[in-house]
Structure 1
Amino acid sequence: MPEAGNPHKATMAVMFAVGAAVLAAADAVIVRAPDGAVHPSVIDFLRLPLVAFGGLALFGEHIALTTFLGGGLICCAALLAARSGKATSA
């Protein structure tokens, strides 16, 4: 039963467990997939907008402008890196 001071403690524990399970599943997919079939950054880049819109839809949280700016910066950097054609090591 959640404490009176923090009613969201149980919800946060579930979110932690689900998040850890998702990361473990993503790692398993990346390890077992053939080279080049799954790229880790695709999963990382999709996490931000999915979590932001999920929070809006499920909890009514408003998405801060800085979230969109950060996501745009990440996307621009990924596009620049992809267009450079240089291979990078992870």
Structure 2
Amino acid sequence: MSSTVFISIIVGLIIILLLVGAPVKPMKYIGQATIKLGIGMLFLFFINVFGGAIGLHIPINIFTVFVSGFLGVFGIGSLAAIHLFVL
């Protein structure tokens, strides 16, 4: 399944939940998680753009987005340390 189909299904489900009348609290948590994942993707993008000068490249996949989104700067630091020292 391609990523655009997956994203379309998720957006469709959220719209259906809003129309049917989903409880507010779970929608709040879904919104906060979505924002954190978006910030995590931006963190990884900028690390890859500016880290290219020193040979730092962290792949953007679901695992790294979760780590950087939910752990923030400490997650980015741990991913960079794994990349530099382990890989």
TM score, norm. by length of structure 2: 0.41
TM score, norm. by length of structure 1: 0.39
The structure carrying a bigger helix percent of its residues is 2
